[in-house]
């Protein structure tokens, strides 16, 4: 590598670190927000959820439905039949 390329690489790294240091306080969550995020909420204290075509449903109803209709376990060695869609340019 010649000297110009080395200077460019070093300055690019320095500029990236400076931009990261400046932007970090704006992107970081406060300790209170992190504590609230890590604390699970009770289903009774949550508001009803709007599921679009399915209407407005309470979290308790969702839990009851899941308990009455659990998903079928996959067969041994089965591969997920999930459709993969590529939505790029």
The DSSP-derived string for 45-83 is GSPPEE-GGG-EE-HHHHHHHHHHSPPPPPPTTPPP-PP
Regarding pTM above 0.85, the answer is: no
Residue 35 has pLDDT above 70, yes or no: yes
* pLDDT score at 45: 86
Share of the chain above pLDDT 70, in %: 88
In a domain, 51, yes or no: yes
In a domain, 78, yes or no: no
CA–CA distance, 65 with 47 (Å, rounded to integer): 17
In a domain, 89, yes or no: no
User: 6-10, 39-43, 80-84: lowest mean pLDDT where?
Assistant: 80-84
**What would you report as the CA-atom Rg of the chain, rounded to the nearest whole angstrom?**
25
In a domain, 21, yes or no: yes
Structurally, how many domains does the chain consist of? 1
* pLDDT score at 89: 61
CB 48 within 8 A of CB 58: yes
Instruction: Please give the mean pLDDT across all residues of the chain.
Output: 86
In a domain, 63, yes or no: yes
Range of the structural domain that residue 49 is part of? 3-30+41-68
């Amino acid at each position: 590598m010649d000297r110009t390329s080395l200077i460019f690489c070093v300055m690019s790294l320095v500029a990236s670190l400076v931009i990261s240091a400046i932007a970090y306080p704006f992107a970081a969550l406060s300790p209170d927000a992190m504590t609230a995020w890590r604390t699970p909420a009770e289903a009774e204290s949550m508001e009803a959820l709007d599921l679009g075509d399915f209407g407005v449903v309470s979290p308790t109803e969702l839990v009851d439905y899941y308990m009455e209709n659990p998903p079928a376990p996959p067969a041994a060695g089965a591969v997920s039949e999930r459709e993969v869609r590529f939505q790029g340019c």
